[in-house]
Chain A
């Protein structure tokens, strides 16, 4: 009996071990790509490790055709999902696909931004919930070509650096416990792909409450359009009346400013 018991526990052990090995080796089957992109497996392997499901509750809004491929507007709304930990936005066929990552620590899983597109591409968004599952959805956007390899407009102006980081912002209280923050920061967002212009972009934007509690953390990457324009929706349930924004670029320039949240709801 003893022998058999230990045998069973050994078998159980092996079974658990096998399970975890197979999980590591990608036991989760990758669903077919509704956007039929040649890059799907590659993108999923690189950015969405673990279980992936195609989920229509991840709403990705973008124009069918890029009217201005230097400023293609994208809005991601995953508010139908609960316990969202991380949102990653990708442009499969851009030379640099990773657009941004949002950790909506105390914010709605919602983000608006604009992106440079090098050619027609899927815009793909993965939303990771606290159970580790990636909920993925996206749209195809048509574009003529050349968005990432063209120099920023700022370089037409010799003293562009004088207004580096200059910020415009609108903050509203959309409901008792929800704010909307839209901001634009002057930055060339150089991809490093335009001849003679090294990579230089705003890489981090953090939004905190006045007492330093993290609300939303954004990592931005090269495809984000010049003068990044971002919209996020921080939760302001604890009587928060002021937000602090901290931003940093790849050269270590830091920008910090407070934004008042109006006390009254305006919708």
Chain B
């Protein structure tokens, strides 16, 4: 593909400076910087014919380009099934290249979006739209909030996002399971991390793709969380017949530690918010409460905890501050 990015590669420094000074400056300064922007994606085979593309357990930064998420792909008899598409068009392109390198010549037959958070679906653009599938509620959420997320991602990670547009899935899922290219996948319509979270199980290998209902050694995020519902969903995942869990963030997990850890953290979050709101603490005071030692090893727990206070505290106050009778 010929693009301004590639074109600039062949310019020498003086030419680039001349361009910068000229009317093309705005279009160009990003492109010069873009030289260095490449996702270094690697596929790790976590089960037979099943690859995880692990993201860093960080928050969105200009350095990581939003590559903080686990994406996966599965080789099925007739092709490839992809779970989530990453944070940007550029990521989607790198993912496609990685799939082609890992399982050459096999067509992508299905792409699932587990939920509507931007790191999970903004690579959709590079896939055939009719192959991208999610529960109707996930599609509704993408349609309602996707553009806002996309704008915010440009602000958070900058030029990595170039050319990324919100693209909602072309197919709404309803079935309890579906056969794709000779492999059956069970679909579980859960919620709690957001108002719609899809969990997928490969019935052949027993790998469960939990989306962001499970985090592992990385603090859970809560911008659309309903903690009680989330806990119920964790119980459902725990009860599934399975061999391995790939969480949305963090390493794969054989014995279900990610579910226990996520549930434990959410429990503590709920207790801390309850205690703080019933004592009338300000949000800033609630943010300074000590994090128990068993969670201090979770990546980005300090920032995620502070974000969670902002997400959750109002609802706890509404529940815990009694209504006053007016004179």
Nearest A-chain residue to B326, judged by Cβ: A257
Known contacts A63-B287, A67-B311, A75-B284; decide if A167 and B324 are in contact (CB<8 Å): yes
A106 to B324, CA, bound (A): 23
Contact mask for chain A residues 169-189; partner B; CB cutoff 8 A; 1 contact, 0 none: 111100000001111100000
Contact mask for chain A residues 71-113; partner B; CB cutoff 8 A; 1 contact, 0 none: 1011100000000000000000000000000000000000010
**Contact of A172 with B279 in the complex, beta carbons under 8 Å:** yes
A114 to B310, CA, bound (A): 11
Return A256 CB to nearest CB of chain B, in Å.
4
> CB of A231 within 8 A of chain B?
yes
Nearest B-chain residue to A172, judged by Cβ: B280
Return A62 CB to nearest CB of chain B, in Å.
7
Known contacts A75-B284, A168-B318, A180-B280; decide if A68 and B323 are in contact (CB<8 Å): no
On chain B, the residues within 8 Å of A166 by CB distance are 323
Contact mask for chain B residues 278-321; partner A; CB cutoff 8 A; 1 contact, 0 none: 11111111011000000000000000001101110010011011
Give which listed residue, A61, A182, A255, contacts B284 with CB less than 8 A: A61
> CB of B184 within 8 A of chain A?
no
> CB of B104 within 8 A of chain A?
no
**Contact of B155 with A75 in the complex, beta carbons under 8 Å:** no
Give which listed residue, A67, A73, A165, contacts B326 with CB less than 8 A: A165
- Total contacting residues, chain A, CB less than 8 A: 32
Return A153 CB to nearest CB of chain B, in Å.
11
Give which listed residue, B284, B318, B320, B324, contacts A73 with CB less than 8 A: B284
Known contacts A68-B310, A144-B155; decide if A74 and B284 are in contact (CB<8 Å): yes
Contact mask for chain B residues 128-168; partner A; CB cutoff 8 A; 1 contact, 0 none: 00000000000000000000000110010000000000000
Nearest B-chain residue to A170, judged by Cβ: B280
Known contacts A112-B285, A144-B152, A168-B322; decide if A181 and B317 are in contact (CB<8 Å): no
Sort chain B's interface into a size bin. Answer: 20 to 34
> CB of A229 within 8 A of chain B?
yes
**Contact of B282 with A167 in the complex, beta carbons under 8 Å:** no
A258 to B324, CA, bound (A): 8
**Contact of A170 with B321 in the complex, beta carbons under 8 Å:** yes
On chain B, the residues within 8 Å of A256 by CB distance are 326-327
Name the interface residues of A100-146: CB closer than 8 Å to any CB of B.
112, 114, 144
> CB of A259 within 8 A of chain B?
yes
On chain B, the residues within 8 Å of A63 by CB distance are 284, 287, 306, 310
Nearest A-chain residue to B148, judged by Cβ: A144
Give which listed residue, A75, A165, A168, A172, contacts B317 with CB less than 8 A: A168
Nearest B-chain residue to A179, judged by Cβ: B280
Nearest B-chain residue to A113, judged by Cβ: B282
> CB of B325 within 8 A of chain A?
yes
On chain B, the residues within 8 Å of A259 by CB distance are 324
Of the listed residues B280, B285, B326, the one surrounded by the most CB atoms of chain A closer than 10 A to its CB is B280
A171 to B321, CA, bound (A): 9
Contact mask for chain A residues 253-264; partner B; CB cutoff 8 A; 1 contact, 0 none: 001111100000
Return B145 CB to nearest CB of chain A, in Å.
14
Contact mask for chain A residues 206-234; partner B; CB cutoff 8 A; 1 contact, 0 none: 00000000000000000000000101000
On chain A, the residues within 8 Å of B318 by CB distance are 168, 184
**Contact of A258 with B327 in the complex, beta carbons under 8 Å:** yes
Return B129 CB to nearest CB of chain A, in Å.
29
Known contacts A112-B285, A114-B283, A229-B317; decide if A167 and B323 are in contact (CB<8 Å): yes
Nearest A-chain residue to B310, judged by Cβ: A67
A231 to B280, CA, bound (A): 8
Known contacts A71-B314, A114-B283; decide if A169 and B326 are in contact (CB<8 Å): no
On chain B, the residues within 8 Å of A168 by CB distance are 317-318, 321-324
Return B194 CB to nearest CB of chain A, in Å.
16
Nearest B-chain residue to A142, judged by Cβ: B155
On chain A, the residues within 8 Å of B327 by CB distance are 256-258
On chain B, the residues within 8 Å of A67 by CB distance are 223, 306-307, 310-311
Return A30 CB to nearest CB of chain B, in Å.
28
On chain B, the residues within 8 Å of A180 by CB distance are 279-280
On chain B, the residues within 8 Å of A183 by CB distance are 321, 324
On chain A, the residues within 8 Å of B287 by CB distance are 61, 63, 73
Contact mask for chain B residues 226-244; partner A; CB cutoff 8 A; 1 contact, 0 none: 0000000000000000000
Return B7 CB to nearest CB of chain A, in Å.
32
On chain B, the residues within 8 Å of A229 by CB distance are 317
On chain B, the residues within 8 Å of A165 by CB distance are 326
**Contact of A184 with B311 in the complex, beta carbons under 8 Å:** no
Given A63-B306, A144-B155, A182-B281, 11 more A-B residue pairs with CB atoms under 8 Å apart are A61-B285, A67-B310, A73-B282, A73-B287, A73-B310, A75-B283, A168-B318, A180-B280, A182-B282, A184-B321, A229-B317
**A and B contact pairs by CB, cutoff 8 A, 21 listed:** A61-B284, A67-B306, A67-B310, A67-B311, A68-B311, A73-B283, A73-B287, A73-B310, A74-B284, A144-B155, A166-B323, A167-B323, A167-B324, A168-B322, A170-B321, A182-B282, A182-B317, A182-B321, A184-B317, A229-B317, A255-B326
